[in-house]
Amino acid sequence: MTFDRSVKIAPSILSADFANFGKECEAIEAQGADWVHVDVMDGHFVPNITFGPDTCKAIRPHIKGVMDVHLMIAPVDPFIEAFAAAGADFITAHVEAGPHIHRTLQAIRASGAKAGVALNPGTPASALDSVMDMVDLVCVMTVNPGFGGQKFIPLEGKIAAIREMIGDREIHIEIDGGVTPVTAPGCVGAGADVLVAGSAVFKGGSVDNPEVYGENIRAIRNAI
């Protein structure tokens, strides 16, 4: 997978039909999704529970492209191997999930997956100072993690600061939370190249009516 900074749309299956994950992954890819964003939540690091490695393993055959696994769990390290074995292309851990982000990122890369680090809205960009050469992706949370459909927290200044810190390193900047055709342009303008969108992509559609997913994806793409 060669690195390029062209804008990618990564629908989050948190907003998909939980009874039809495989079909939903196939539908969003057929309708133009670039990556599939998989939100893993443990009810401890965030106030919601979704699914784990076995669900990732089950949906992997239904995803042709990138499976982008966002771990909103603590601790992270005991589960890295399982998500890598499930076929995750990117495994992203929160810097707030524990005291040893350096060791976690080493373990993610050692597992064969690409390493991502996520920052909650209240965490400054400076938290990345010591790990910039250990990651392939920085995920900037623009909502407090746990749920889809929340209001976008404007953090374009933080995104621009992170873009500056990255320089010419091959590191993606992913925006996660409240991304819509209205909020996407500011994020891309500030330097983001991966846009996670759950409710903005899945709203109004279904596995029986996937064309709506395509319309929603195109609305974001046309806005940027």
- Catalytic residue numbers read 39, 176
Nearer to ligand DX5 among residue 146 and residue 205 (C-beta): 146
159 vs 176: CA distance, rounded Å: 12
Q: Give least dist CB 174 to ligand DX5, A.
A: 9
Is residue 178 within the footprint of ligand DX5 (CB under 6 A)?
A: yes
214 binds, among Zn ion, ligand DX5, none (CB under 5 to 8 A by kind): none
Question: DSSP of 100-167, one letter per residue?
Answer: -HHHHHHHHHHTTSEEEEEE-TTS-GGGGTTTGGG-SEEEEESS-TT-SSPPPP--HHHHHHHHHHHT
- Select from 70, 114, 158, 163 the one that contacts Zn ion (CB under 5 A): 70
116 binds, among Zn ion, ligand DX5, none (CB under 5 to 8 A by kind): none
163 binds, among Zn ion, ligand DX5, none (CB under 5 to 8 A by kind): none
Q: Going by C-beta distance under 8 Å and a sequence separation of 6 or more, which residues neighbour residue 76? A: 93, 94, 97, 98, 104
Is residue 39 within the footprint of Zn ion (CB under 5 A)?
A: yes
The site string for ligand DX5 over 147-176 (x = CB under 6 A, - otherwise) reads -xxx-------------------------x
152 vs 187: CA distance, rounded Å: 11
